[in-house]
């Protein structure tokens, strides 16, 4: 079975391909492989306030374009001390605009640390959230799943793996950040892996 993965993020694509590699007979295709070139309209596919709505919007959009079963996810980090922020705005959390890749990740992490200030570690509770939606082209045949991973936000980054908030996201059970653990272990424990 061919499955389109509705993301332009190479990090996400690599992670999800590894997670889905255990499914026999499944071929995960990226948007370029199915002839879906970038369109500026994609920037408006996530206007909603919930992970569920944003993931469904992306899955539906790319399923209509490709005609193939399509999975999309919306994911982010929710910080309890910040009332659940940044949530669905995790990718564009920092006030600086026009940043991409590692520069954007660094700006987001610095902004998060500034907002948390000197709050003690036990008060820095957080959770990564991922909602994945599989759209098969039939409104009565859409699957939606949610995965969460609890953790704490450290006051300084640790590790060189992962992406996004991973260097700050501390898994208490392992005693390491998501940027310090092996990709296979992260995939088994992460919000995306669970979803």
Q: Which residues are catalytic?
A: 74
DSSP strand pairing (2-5 vs 70-79): parallel
Helix (H) or strand (E) holding 8: none
As a whole number of angstroms, the distance between CA 134 and CA 144 comes to: 6
Query: Which residues lie below 8 Å from residue 195, measured CB to CB, with a gap of 6+?
Result: 73, 130, 131, 132, 145, 146, 147
List C-alpha distances in Å: 192 to 12, 13, 127.
9, 11, 12
Which residues, listed in sequence order, are joined to residue 75 by a DSSP beta bridge?
A: 130
DSSP strand pairing (169-171 vs 142-153): antiparallel
Asked if 22 and 42 count as a contact pair (C-beta separation under 8 A), the reply is no
């Amino acid at each position: 079975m061919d499955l389109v993965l509705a993301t332009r993020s190479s990090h996400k694509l690599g992670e999800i391909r590894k997670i889905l590699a255990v499914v026999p007979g499944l071929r995960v295709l990226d948007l370029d492989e199915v002839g879906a070139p970038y369109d500026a309209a994609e920037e408006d596919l996530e206007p909603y306030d919930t992970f569920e709505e944003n993931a469904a919007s992306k899955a539906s959009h790319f399923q209509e374009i490709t005609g193939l079963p399509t999975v999309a996810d919306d994911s982010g980090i929710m910080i309890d001390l910040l009332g659940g922020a940044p949530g669905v705005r995790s990718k564009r959390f920092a006030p600086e605009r026009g940043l991409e890749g590692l520069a954007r990740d660094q700006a987001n992490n610095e902004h998060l640390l500034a907002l948390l200030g000197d709050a003690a570690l036990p008060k820095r509770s957080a959770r990564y959230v991922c909602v994945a939606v599989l759209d098969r082209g039939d409104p009565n045949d859409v699957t939606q799943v949610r995965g969460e991973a609890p953790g704490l936000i450290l006051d300084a980054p640790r590790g060189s793996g992962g992406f996004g908030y991973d260097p700050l996201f501390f898994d208490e059970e392992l005693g390491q950040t998501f940027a310090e653990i092996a990709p296979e272990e992260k995939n088994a424990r992460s919000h995306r892996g669970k979803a």
